[in-house]
Amino acid sequence: MTDIPKFSDFSTGEQLEGEKIKFEDAMGKQITVTAHKTIPDKFAKNEGDTVTIIQFKLGDKTYITFTRSSVLVAQLKMMSEKGSVPFTATIVKQKRYLTFK
């Protein structure tokens, strides 16, 4: 009898959980970023485009939101490389880009 593969054998890794909210609803509030994951963008206009899922806590609740902001993605990558996730920050708009403060 042939072994039937399990879904977990093909999983892309840890799934981020939390209530999905609009990115704008997280802006301007102090959040604790607990994880992030960059995945292929299924709504991409160009092949190879990605979207980053940010998992965070606001108060006692866990949320996820999505961003394509290159500045936020670079900051998330930097914090991960430093081993500094989780971290607390506020997402703010400065001129024409978004950043963690």
Give the rounded distance of the alpha carbon of 61 from its chain centre: 16
Domain membership of residue 2 (yes or no) is no
Identify whether the C-beta of residue 76 lies closer than 8 Å to the C-beta of residue 36. Answer: yes
Question: Residue 81 sits in a domain of what CATH number?
Answer: 2.40.50
pLDDT of residue 1: 52
Number of domains in the chain: 1
| pLDDT (tens place) for every residue of the chain, 101 residues total | 567 765 555 545 568 999 999 989 999 999 999 999 999 988 878 888 999 999 999 999 999 999 999 999 999 999 999 999 999 999 999 999 999 99
Domain membership of residue 96 (yes or no) is yes
* Domain range for 37: 14-100
Identify whether the C-beta of residue 56 lies closer than 8 Å to the C-beta of residue 34. Answer: yes
